[in-house]
Amino acid sequence: MSLFRLALANLGSSPLSSLVNVLLLALGTASIAILLLASAQLSSTLSRNAAGIDLVIGAKGSPLQLVLAGVYHADVPPGNIPATEVDRWQEHPSVGAAIPLSLGDSFRGYRIVGTVPEFADLYQAKILQGGFWDDPFEAVIGSRVIQTTGLKVGDTLAGVHGLAEDGDTHEDSTYQVVGTFAPTDSVLDSLIVTSTESVWLMHAGHDHHDHEEGHDHEEEHAHEEHEHEHDHDHESHEEDPQHGDEITLLLIQLSSPLGALTLPREINAETGLQAASPAYEITRLLQIVGVGLNWLNAFAVVLVISAALSIFAALYASLRARRHDLAVLRCLGATRGELFYLLFVEGLLLTIAGIIVGLILAHGGVELLGQWLGDGQGIVISGWAWANGEFALVAGLLLTGSVTAMIPAWQAYSTDVARTLTAP
């Protein structure tokens, strides 16, 4: 029997101890690997979704809330701003492009975004089927919306007010799907994109309907007297869609890097507007989250150290129990180096098994997490990826296991055959 097979047999002779050591090391490995995978891919996803967006202009409030709502569509916006701000900032010398967003409705948890076709250029999106809208109440949907809802070109959908699926449904005004986006691995995959005018008309009609229901009979005569004036205003509104309307926020692409220094200060000096930098806000958010990740990393390192000590204790106990067997092997011709190899391989096998099981648990868990998050949040996390830090993790664990196994292996190497065989 070879020494390698003998090492396997020795580990198999105490399966419970071997299993506990492997699982303990696997838990520590999985904890660190999950943090490496999740943090690396989360940072990559956040950066990819914010690529090309230098500033977000919106109502006064929390700048982080504004970024989460406008860039990642993961929060409600602080409020609305006048639609006239689009032309104003588009004409600013520091602004290369100003893309308006009008938010407020959703369909099965997927946000409906009123904007312009240039919005898709932020994500280098391509039309897979159909095309962009030509008329109000036409929409283009992302790939994840297609997968989970089964919508296709030609289908219709009725949005609900807010992000909850049980909100107030706009049954009287439905959108028709006229196009689909190819997958982009960005937040666009989870959006239903339509024209800004569609969102305005949707809410203007909804508010007008609610307003009519709230009229008292005593006000009907006054309403009739002003009906002609109201119709005139409505015709004017159709000729100038921005008249009297609002948007939720503006996504700004700067024409020069210098604008990043001067434009936010200029915007924030106004009473009703604020400018938020996605890069700055997300960096600040990741720093806050990083404090918690550091504690989790510290806990995972404690698990790894505990596993290493457990492997050492198991090998040391096995060495003491097999002292006579090792001495007999020496008498049968085994060299000191072969005894060292035997104990060292046992420790290394436990370490390798723990690493493999831990990586399987980590990547499997991250894949399940990615599928759960991918249902609507637009966060792309996959267990099939490999984080750069995992190479260092595996190397560090192998080194730790090797050092742990060397101590019992050296004691086996130093075994005194005569004293061991004559000991009672």
Q: Residue 369: what pLDDT?
A: 85
Position 421 confidence tier, pLDDT thresholds 50, 70, 90: low
Q: Residue 330: what pLDDT?
A: 74
Is the pLDDT score of 384 beyond 70? yes
Q: Residue 230: what pLDDT?
A: 41
Q: Residue 120: what pLDDT?
A: 96
Q: Residue 38: what pLDDT?
A: 86
Tell me the average pLDDT across 85-107: 94
Torsion of CA 12, 17, 23, 25, to 10 degrees: -100
Q: Which residue has the higher pLDDT, 194 or 304?
A: 194
- Residue 133 sits at the vertex; the CA angle it makes with 244 and 204, to the nearest 5 degrees, is 25
Q: Which residue has the higher pLDDT, 196 or 236?
A: 196
Query: Could you give the CA distance from residue 139 to residue 145 in angstroms, rounded to a whole number?
Result: 12
Is the pLDDT score of 232 beyond 70? no
Is the pLDDT score of 289 beyond 90? no
Is the pLDDT score of 50 beyond 80? yes
Is the pLDDT score of 197 beyond 50? yes
Six-digit token pair at 355? 């690493």
Q: Residue 217: what pLDDT?
A: 40
Q: Residue 155: what pLDDT?
A: 97
Run of H or E residues at 13: none
Query: Could you give the CA distance from residue 256 to residue 274 in angstroms, rounded to a whole number?
Result: 20
Is the pLDDT score of 87 beyond 70? yes
Q: Which residue has the higher pLDDT, 164 or 236?
A: 164
Is the pLDDT score of 207 beyond 80? no
Q: Residue 419: what pLDDT?
A: 64
| Highest-scoring range by mean pLDDT, 130-144, 169-183, 259-273, 276-290 | 130-144
Is the pLDDT score of 193 beyond 90? yes
Position 79 confidence tier, pLDDT thresholds 50, 70, 90: very high
Report CA torsion sign: 110, 115, 120, 126. Answer: positive
Q: Residue 226: what pLDDT?
A: 41
Q: What is the mean pLDDT of the chain?
A: 83
What does the H/E/C string look like for the chain?
Answer: CCHHHHHHHHHHCCHHHHHHHHHHHHHHHHHHHHHHHHHHHHHHHHHHHHCCCCEEEEECCCHHHHHHHHCCCCCCCCCCEECCHHHHHHCCCCEEEEEEEEEEEEECCEEEEEECHHHHHHHCCCEEEECCCCCCCEEEECHHHHHHHCCCCCCEECCEECCCCCCCECCCCCEEEEEEECCCCCHHHHEEEEEHHHHHHHHHHHHHHHHHHCCCHHHHHHHHHCHHHHHHHHHHHHHCCCCCCEECEEEEEECCCCHHHHHHHHHHCCCCEEEECHHHHHHHHHHHHHHHHHHHHHHHHHHHHHHHHHHHHHHHHHHHHCHHHHHHHHHCCCCHHHHHHHHHHHHHHHHHHHHHHHHHHHHHHHHHHHHHHCCCCCCCCCCCCCCCHHHHHHHHHHHHHHHHHHHHHHHHHCCCHHHHHHCC
Run of H or E residues at 243: none
Of 72-76, 80-84, 210-214, 308-312, least confident by mean pLDDT is: 210-214
Q: What's the pLDDT tens digit per position in 22-33?
A: 998 999 999 899
Q: Which residue has the higher pLDDT, 85 or 379?
A: 85
Query: Could you give the CA distance from residue 276 to residue 8 in angstroms, rounded to a whole number?
Result: 60
| Chain center to CA of 139 | 26
**C-alpha separations of 333 from 86, 327, 330 in Å:** 88, 10, 5
Run of H or E residues at 415: none
Report CA torsion sign: 292, 293, 294, 298. Answer: positive
Is the pLDDT score of 100 beyond 60? yes
Position 244 confidence tier, pLDDT thresholds 50, 70, 90: very low
Query: Could you give the CA distance from residue 395 to residue 211 in angstroms, rounded to a whole number?
Result: 68
Give the domain ranges of the chain.
3-46+291-422, 55-276
Tell me the average pLDDT across 106-124: 94
Residue 143 dihedral angles phi and psi, to the nearest 5°: -65, -35
Position 160 confidence tier, pLDDT thresholds 50, 70, 90: very high
Q: Which residue has the higher pLDDT, 26 or 220?
A: 26
Query: Could you give the CA distance from residue 393 to residue 32 in angstroms, rounded to a whole number?
Result: 8
Please state, for a pLDDT cut of 70, what percent of the chain lies above it.
Answer: 84
Q: Cβ(310)–Cβ(14) under 8 Å?
A: no
Is the pLDDT score of 236 beyond 50? no
Is the pLDDT score of 303 beyond 70? yes
Between 278-321 and 323-331, two packed helices, what is the crossing angle to 10 degrees? 70
Please state, for a pLDDT cut of 90, what percent of the chain lies above it.
Answer: 46
Residue 250 dihedral angles phi and psi, to the nearest 5°: -125, 135
Q: Residue 399: what pLDDT?
A: 92
Strands 160-161 and 95-107: antiparallel
Q: Residue 248: what pLDDT?
A: 96
Position 208 confidence tier, pLDDT thresholds 50, 70, 90: very low
DSSP category for residue 20: H
